[in-house]
Amino acid sequence: MWRRVASLSSFLSSYSTSFVAQTASRLNTWESLTTRIAQQANGFIAPKEKTPFITFVLGGPGSGKGTQCIKIVETFGFTHLSAGDLLRREIDSNSADGAMILNKIKEGKIVPSQLTVKLIQKGMESSDNDKFLIDGFPRTEENRVSFEQIIGIEPNVVLFFDCPEEEMVKRLLNRNQGRVDDNLETIKTRLKVFEALSLPVINYYSQRGKLYTIRARGTEDEIFEQVRPIFTAFEACHRAVE
Ligand SMILES: Nc1ncnc2c1ncn2[C@@H]1O[C@H](COP(=O)(O)OP(=O)(O)O)[C@@H](O)[C@H]1O
Ligand SMILES: O=c1ccn([C@@H]2O[C@H](COP(=O)(O)OP(=O)(O)O)[C@@H](O)[C@H]2O)c(=O)[nH]1
Ligand SMILES: [Mg+2]
């Protein structure tokens, strides 16, 4: 469905007086947003009939990734694959790796890449959808490379929820989902891991022109209004070729 688009730039520029344009101006100017998206869609060459459209959803712990993914799913029909949820499911199913995964999560450390990528791969293969939100992954450069090697596709879009540390800590301590890692000691490690290992991944995608940074403070709805124009523009690209 999300196939290569032949001539998007002209379509997108004629779209610039729409409601979407007004909304998009809060994030970027509409022109620069649509130009970027057209370039990315044009660079997306489908090697087989159904190549998935992949969005990586990144940000520190408590930045609101999961919360915003729910809204993206409701509005744009993506399938949500949270790497953390997939790993927690492995623990709950008493799999051979369960104890190791639990330890890593308790310590705020990163689970070996191959394992996480295989779980994501299974999630993608068991879905009929061709639009995926991969939430909380890749968290390290090694994660990123492993995904590219095993899945063989690069993300089309990378969202980065940029949130001040004190706000993330406050949210995590109030998350109230009974998670073993929502305690101050683990949170401190997770913030260090984020800075040391995850920020390089974010910088990598910024350099590749795939990064959309969202200011992740404010109400959930306010934050979603920064996210919405990105996917609206991609949908517009998609409709243009149907
Ligand atoms: N904009 C927001 N303002 C206040 N609290 C939020 C906001 N977005 C999410 N939360 C809350 O913060 C906590 C962490 O959000 P979550 O989506 O789980 O973040 P992440 O997946 O990035 O760790 C949750 O309890 C969630 O309800
Ligand atoms: O690709 C991943 C995703 C998660 N985790 C582990 O799972 C924890 C919780 O991740 P999740 O994405 O659920 O946390 P969030 O950022 O949403 O709070 C992380 O701290 C890691 O220990 C991991 O090792 N690799
Ligand atoms: Mg989450």
Alpha-carbon distances of 159 from 93, 168, 185, 228, rounded to whole Å:
30, 17, 27, 12
Tens place of pLDDT per residue across the chain (242 aa): 433 333 333 323 333 333 333 344 444 555 666 666 666 664 444 444 578 999 999 999 999 999 999 999 999 999 999 999 999 999 999 999 999 999 999 999 999 999 999 999 999 999 999 999 999 999 999 999 999 999 999 999 999 999 999 999 999 999 999 999 999 999 999 999 999 999 999 999 999 999 999 999 999 999 999 999 999 999 898 777 66
Q: Which among 59, 52, 35, 3 is positioned nearest to 209, based on CA atoms?
A: 35
Q: What residues pack around ion ligand 3 (CB closer than 5 A)? A: 65-66
Q: Is residue 219 within 6 Å of ligand 1 at its C-beta?
A: yes
| Residue having the nearest C-alpha atom to atom 10 of ligand 1 | 64
**Whose atoms come closest to the Cα of 114: which ligand?**
2
Ligand 1 atom nearest 177 alpha carbon: 25
Q: Is residue 61 within 6 Å of ligand 2 at its C-beta?
A: yes
> In the chain, what are the domains?
49-219 (3.40.50.300)
Q: What is the ipTM of this complex?
A: 0.99
| pTM score, whole prediction | 0.86
